[in-house]
Amino acid sequence: MKQMSEKNHSVVEINQEFPLTIKRLGINGEGVGYYKKQVVFVPGALPGEEAVVQVTKIHPKYAQAAVKTIRKESPHRVTAPCPVYDACGGCQLQHLEYNQQLVHKRDILIQALERHTKLPIAQMDIRQTIGMDNPWYYRNKSQFQVGKKGEKVIAGLYGTNSHQLVDIKECIVQRKETNKATQVVRKQLDKLKIPVYNERTKKGTVRTIVSRVGIETGQVQIVIVTATDDLPQKDKLIRALENKMPEIKSIMQNVNPASTSVIFGNKTILLSGQKTIEDKIEQYTYHLSARAFFQLNPIQTKKLYDEIKKASELTGKEKIVDAYCGSGTIGLWLSQGASEIRGMDVIKESIQDARMNAKQHGLKNYTYETGTAQEWMLKWKDEGFKPDVVVVDPPRTGCDESLLKTILTVKPKRFVYASCNPSTLAKDLMALSSKYKIEYIQPLDMFPQTSHVESVTQLVLKEDN
């Protein structure tokens, strides 16, 4: 019993106030300090600040607190330009000077390696974060939930840890085209009295407005996510959208009847225009269907893909596997330096897009298949195909354990890991370090004003393997 009480004992209490010096930023962009050796996370506080904080939550290993007053302010603190910054929670770092965001993102990556690995971090080549010249209005896709405020239809995001929908008229990290498209749809839902979905009562129709723009082409796609197959006033809505925004080239309906936080359901219907829109990065044109993954910041995507290409060290002879390939964007980027490209993805539409993109760009030696990377790589190994380079750009959950085992079985000479989550990257690097040497990690800022950190890691097969 004594052990139990010690384990659950906290040095702080709810609502307790005390002074705290902030040492660094945490993985979610919050300030991190230590009170009597207990870790305290403080949203909105910055490294170097001295603040009086009030405890809001206690967990077995840490406490959360809110800033009451700041006694000593960071010289890098700025006023967040977004009017709903505090309520929305979509961005975490608008109150920090941009060049310092880049410094702390590298540190967030190092913290993850310290927490999840036994690697010799001090000896590792962890480079300075690659940033953006203009870190605003960069996202090419928005997914805004729809709700009601009184009788009025609103569209926005749910506030941090709340079911309160924050009405967002203009999001300053979204492209202006997606902001405009969302507002055009919202106004028409209001005008035509189309019922919006209520999370609590599970009644109504429209759940989410998804808008995407091809930055180089100007083409706009709207996806209206509904809880039911039926979309009242559908024809009037389509006509109004096309009249108000001639740049809309694709209007889709996606049906998601499930009680879930996942945006898309499995059924997608073409309402008007074409099924895909196009976007370009350099000489490559990409066809994007409603559910196809495409990087949200194309300006930084070019830099990311160039870093992946650099880490692949291609000579024109290499066979490449592009795992989690999506619509084949990375494979295309690497194609000029490779002898053969193979890729796979579990989303069938993405593979259709990948094949279309490869064909359109005159790729000769390519194979794209629906399924998991581990399933196809082992099948290809049995058929005598051995890749020289494997590239992965997995979701936030990181690489599937069975994929890591497959990599250690197939043993490509180089493994290039593009990551959007430092914690899962660190765990995966630890698993791969038995057979692979980590040459370097290059952090890159895909999402300015947020705590997200992207990176490209080059791993090379150790000589004794």
Q: What is the mean pLDDT of residues 159-168?
A: 87
- pLDDT at position 2 over 80: no
Pairing of strands 338-345, 366-370: parallel
Helix 98-116, helix 422-432: angle, nearest 10: 40
pTM of the shown model: 0.89
Q: Which range is least confidently modeled, 43-57, 80-94, 350-364, 399-413?
A: 350-364
Active-site residues, by number, are 420
Asked whether 273 and 251 are in contact (CB, 8 A), the reply is: yes
What's the pLDDT score for residue 185?
98
CB within 8 Å of 361: residues ≥ 6 apart: 284, 285, 332, 335
What's the pLDDT score for residue 6?
41
How far is the C-alpha of 180 from the C-alpha of 182, rounded, in Å?
Answer: 6
Would you call 403 exposed, middle or buried from its count of C-beta atoms within 10 A (0-12, 13-18, 19+)?
buried
Among 421, 410, 415, smallest CA distance to 443 is for 421
Indicate the pLDDT class of residue 199, thresholds 50, 70 and 90: confident
pLDDT tens, residue by residue, 94-121: 999 999 999 999 999 999 999 999 999 9
What's the pLDDT score for residue 161?
76
Residue in the structure block whose two tokens are 């967002």: 168
How far is the C-alpha of 350 from the C-alpha of 327, rounded, in Å?
Answer: 5
Indicate the pLDDT class of residue 9, thresholds 50, 70 and 90: low
Indicate the pLDDT class of residue 92, thresholds 50, 70 and 90: very high
- pLDDT at position 327 over 90: no
Would you call 278 exposed, middle or buried from its count of C-beta atoms within 10 A (0-12, 13-18, 19+)?
middle
Q: Which range is least confidently modeled, 60-69, 257-266, 374-383?
A: 257-266
Indicate the pLDDT class of residue 390, thresholds 50, 70 and 90: very high
Pair of tokens at residue 57: 């939550």
What's the pLDDT score for residue 5?
38
- pLDDT at position 8 over 70: no
What's the pLDDT score for residue 291?
85
